[in-house]
Amino acid sequence: MEKRKGTRRLLAQPVAILRSDGTFLCECTLCDVSDGGARIALTVKPGTTAPEIAPEFILSLTRGGNVVRYCETIWRRENEIGVRFAARKK
């Protein structure tokens, strides 16, 4: 049974995860997206482990960081995370 409220669009877009203070944490790939959330694959180099992702973070959709989404982690599986888009935290 499908629990999503919106239709997902498949992508393979390079993006970046930023800490809540806006500093860079890691590169990743936006795998699919809907109006309410997304699935993100973490970029893990051979011989390393996936970085620890905070429950809330900023997803930078452009290289310059001028398009971002505030995210809440909903689930984690190996090197993937599912997020819900959230309002900006004050």
Domains of the chain, residue spans: 9-86
The tens-digit pLDDT sequence of the chain (90 residues) is 456 566 888 889 999 999 999 999 999 999 999 989 999 999 888 888 888 899 999 999 987 778 999 999 999 998 999 999 998 765
- Provide CATH code, domain 9-86: 2.40.10.220
- Quote the CA–CA distance of 85 and 61 in Å, as a whole number: 13
- Quote the CA–CA distance of 74 and 90 in Å, as a whole number: 21
pTM: 0.85
Number of other CB atoms surrounding residue 54 within 10 Å = 14
Place of tokens 């995860």: 17
- Cβ neighbours for 21, distance < 8 A, ≥ 6 positions apart: none
Q: Which residues pair with 73 in a beta bridge?
A: 83
